[in-house]
């Protein structure tokens, strides 16, 4: 279902170009899917109540869920 997964942590004092201030996050997690069908299957699975509950319980150990942001993007020129 998930084709690739990365988690990248920002350094304590990240160098930010310009005058944008510090980032309001400390980790960037990326998931890649091989197809739209795989992505749809992922969403269907994590929306199941027992799976969603397990995810939320786990996230409480290391995330501030109210600050989590998700974006869907399409990678261009990857081939």
Residue 72 lies in a domain: no
Residue 8 lies in a domain: yes
Number of C-beta neighbours around residue 73 at 10 A = 6
Residue 18 lies in a domain: no
- DSSP letters spanning 18-29: SS----S-SEEE
The total of structural domains in the chain comes to 1
Each residue's pLDDT tens digit, 8-22: 998 887 777 777 777
Global pTM? 0.76
Residue 43 lies in a domain: yes
Residue 41 lies in a domain: yes
d(CA 41, CA 4): 15
Each residue's pLDDT tens digit, 24-68: 888 999 999 999 999 999 999 999 999 999 999 999 999 998 889
**Residue range(s) defining the domain that contains residue 35:** 2-12+24-67
Residue 60 lies in a domain: yes
Whole-number pLDDT of residue 79: 62
Q: Where are the alpha helices (DSSP H) in 1-79?
A: 36-46, 49-59
Q: DSSP secondary-structure letter at 65?
A: G
d(CA 3, CA 49): 24
């Amino acid at each position: 279902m998930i084709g690739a997964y990365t988690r990248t942590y920002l350094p304590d004092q990240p160098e930010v170009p310009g005058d944008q201030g510090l980032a309001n996050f400390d980790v960037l997690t990326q998931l890649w899917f091989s197809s739209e069908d795989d992505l749809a299957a992922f969403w269907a699975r994590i929306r199941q109540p027992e799976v969603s509950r397990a995810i939320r319980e786990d996230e409480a150990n290391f995330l501030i869920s109210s600050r989590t942001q998700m974006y869907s993007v399409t990678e261009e020129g990857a081939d």
